[in-house]
Each structure stands twice: as structure tokens, then as C-alpha cells.
Amino acid sequence: MSCMRFCSVYLTNALTWICLSFGVGSTVYAASPVNLTIATGNVSGVYYPAGGAICRQLNKSQKQHMLRCSVVTSEGSVSNIEKLRSKTAAVALIQSDIQQQAFSGTGTFANAGAMPQLRALFSLYSEAFTLVTRQDGNINQLTDLLGKRIDAGNAGSGEHATMELLMQQFSWKPADFPQISGMNADERAQALCDSQIDAFVYVAGHPNGVIREATNTCDARLMSMPADVIDNILVNHPEYHKMTIPGGLYRGNDNDINTFGVSATVLTTDSLDEETAYQIVKATMENLQQLERSHPAMKNLQPVNMAQNGLTVPLHPGALRYYREHNIPVKQL
């Protein structure tokens, strides 16, 4: 045997590929493709089709890199951070605010501790903090939420953490609400229309299937956030940015909705090898049209934005290599 080369990628169940070279001529024998797992979200959201689109592009070029990509559903961003921490997923889609909290060990992750090993691959699209109410719920301003039954998303979701931030902003306490439930995304529209809850919050790309179901079924409406509330949040939390949900996306909601939001980012850890990270970024950046077709929220993807927007953790060396090769400016942290 003239040489043995062992290349590993950090995945759910270990090996990437093994190359063995025998004698003169260096014939190479490759092991079976390695499973690469991407943690996404609920099937009714955007993370799931977004992760699926990334996997499809990777799998099309499998013979070049010997990676077999698949997605797993999850409760959302917080849950996905824990999947990266526990090494049950190699890559995950995560809200940029949750990314920042996990990296620094603050907010939701104050007890779990910081994850300095987080690394960024790219961002995808903006996600808006969206408040959806019943038409007959007598909720005309944010303070009207007091005394109402609210769904804030399950404990593993990004919107649950963002709702906690909003409650801190107003010094609200759980006792101020008769009910704060934690439903899965695909349960909220029905619960609202069946009058089991008065409002729900969702951090999502738009248009969104859950919100469309609520507006089509029971004339639900989206509520704008007051400008001063948005400004105060942005002053203290620069990981957020102002957003507008265009009017006309949903039945009965013709006016623009002013709110704040985050970026949907694709993260990994420093355990992922450089070549694998490079191949993920390459397959994504060179097939943006296919990604855009996976969901309307991902229209107009631009590499220069994807290499910068919402990324508050260091770029993975494999991602940085791709951006430098293609002269794509990156964010300096």
C-alpha cells in the first residue's frame, strides 16, 4: 500500500470518505457517500423547504464530493442550536438573533453557556416578527394583548425567544396573560380560528403558509409594531433590523405592516472540515435560482448579501475560501 488518506467530516455518524491508493497507477477506491444532516424547522415553515433545496443541489453533485445530504425537522432555531451543540446535526438554519445569543451565551442560552465554536456559512432571507390576531379579538394595539390568550411558539422556536424579548421590553410577566401556549407552527392557524387563542406570534419569511391559512379561514389580521417600540428594540439589540411586510400578501390585509426582523442564517461548527463547508457553499451559490424556486420568501438571493447579512459569528474557513475565490466581499467581525 503506497498511501492511505483518511478524510472526516463531522456528521451524525462520523466518516466522510476513505481513499486507498494501491501500487503504481494509484487506483482510488472511495467508500459510500457520507450522510450530511441539516436541521431545519416545521414542514409548514420556510426552513424545511430551504434546507431541502440546499440538499438537492448538494446531492446532484454527490459524485464530486461524496456527501449525501438530508434534512431533519425540528422545533426551530433554539432546538437547532442544541442539535449543533450535541453534534446530532452538522448544519442548521437559525435566526440571526438566536445565533448571536448562542455564540455569546446570553439570553436563551445564559444557562447552557456560550458556543464559541459556531461558524457561519451564509444567510438566506429576512424573517419578520409577525403578530397575528382575530378580527373580533379587540386587539388594536400592543398593550391590548394583556389579558389575552397568546401562542408564543414552542420552547425550541426562535419566535418564543423573540416574544420573551418583547415581554422584557414592556416589563410584561407571564401572569399578565391567562394563557401563553407553545404550539407547533402548523397548529396555530386552526387554534386562532377555533377561538382557542386570541393571537399568535411568528418569526417567518413571507408569504407564509400558516398565516395564509389563518387569513383565508377566519379573516385574521396582521398588526404593525409601533415605531418607538421598534426603535427601542433596535437600539438595544443591533442583531435586529426594521422590516415591512408588504400589503396584499394576505387576504384582508391590504396595508403594509411595519415590524422588526432577523435574518435566516445557515450555521455549522468548527468541527466541520473545510472541504465539506466549501462544497455546501459552492452548491448553494451556484444554484441560487433553484433555491429561490423552493419558496417565495427566498426570491432575489444575492451572494454579496448572503455572505454578510445577519452573520454575527465568524465565517467557516471553507465558506471564506469560496468567497475569496469568487471575490465576494465578506463581513469583518
Whether cis (ω within 30° of 0) applies to the bond prior to 303 is no
Of 262, 278, 306, at which residue does a domain stop?
262
CB-count burial class (<10 Å; 0-12, 13-18, 19+) for 222: buried
Task: Look up the pTM and report it.
Answer: 0.81
Same domain, 225 and 160: yes
Residue 97 near residue 162 (C-beta atoms within 8 A): yes
Q: Do 256 and 140 fall within a single domain?
A: yes
Domain check: are 289 and 246 in the same one? Answer: no
Work out the angle between the directed axes of helices 185-193 and 209-218 (0-180°, nearest 10).
10
State whether 86 and 8 are in the same domain: yes
* C-alpha distance from residue 196 to each of 120, 164, 222 (Å): 39, 21, 18
220 and 246 belong to one structural domain: yes
Structural domain range at position 275: 3-125+268-325
Q: What pLDDT shows up at residue 31?
A: 60
Does any domain span residue 333?
no
Task: Report how many domains make up the chain.
Answer: 2
Same domain for 58 and 144: no
Buried b (16+ CB within 10 A) or exposed e, 89-123: bbbbbbbbbbbbbbbbeebbbeeeeebeebbbbbb
Is 142 among the domain residues? yes
Q: Which pLDDT value is given to residue 45?
A: 86
Q: Is residue 191 part of a domain?
A: yes
320 and 220 both lie in a single domain: no
Q: How far apart are CA 72 and CA 77, in angstroms?
A: 13
- CA end-to-end span of the chain, whole Å? 46
Instruction: Looking at the structure, tell me whether residues 190 and 245 fall in a common domain.
Output: yes
Domain at 215, CATH number: 3.40.190.10
Strand boundaries in 205-288, DSSP class E: 221-223, 241-245, 257-269
**What is the model's pLDDT at position 214?**
96
210 and 169 inside one domain: yes
Closest CA to 264 of 158, 188, 119: 158
Is residue 332 domain-resident? no
Considering the domain architecture, whether residues 278 and 254 belong to the same structural domain is answered as no
In a domain? residue 134: yes
Same domain, 283 and 221: no
E-assigned strand segments in the chain: 3-8, 15-22, 27-30, 34-39, 67-72, 91-95, 118-133, 149-151, 179-181, 199-204, 221-223, 241-245, 257-269
Strand extents, DSSP E, 59-117: 67-72, 91-95
Q: Determine contact, residues 301/278, Cβ cutoff 8 Å.
A: no
Please indicate, yes or no, if residue 330 is contained in any of the structural domains: no
Q: Output the pLDDT for position 266.
A: 98
The three grid cell numbers given for residue 83, joined into one nine-digit string: 442539535
Q: Do 59 and 169 sit in the same domain of this protein? A: no
What pLDDT is stored for residue 32 in this prediction?
A: 80
- Print pLDDT tens along the chain (333 aa): 333 333 444 433 343 433 333 333 333 434 688 899 999 998 888 999 999 999 999 999 998 899 999 999 999 999 999 999 999 999 999 999 999 999 999 988 999 999 999 999 999 999 999 999 998 889 998 899 999 999 999 888 888 888 988 898 889 999 999 999 999 888 999 999 999 999 999 999 999 999 999 999 998 999 999 999 999 988 888 788 999 999 999 999 999 999 999 999 999 999 999 999 999 999 999 999 999 999 988 988 999 999 999 999 999 999 999 999 999 999 877
User: Is the residue at 234 inside a domain?
Assistant: yes
Which of 229, 262, 295 delimits the end of a domain?
Answer: 262
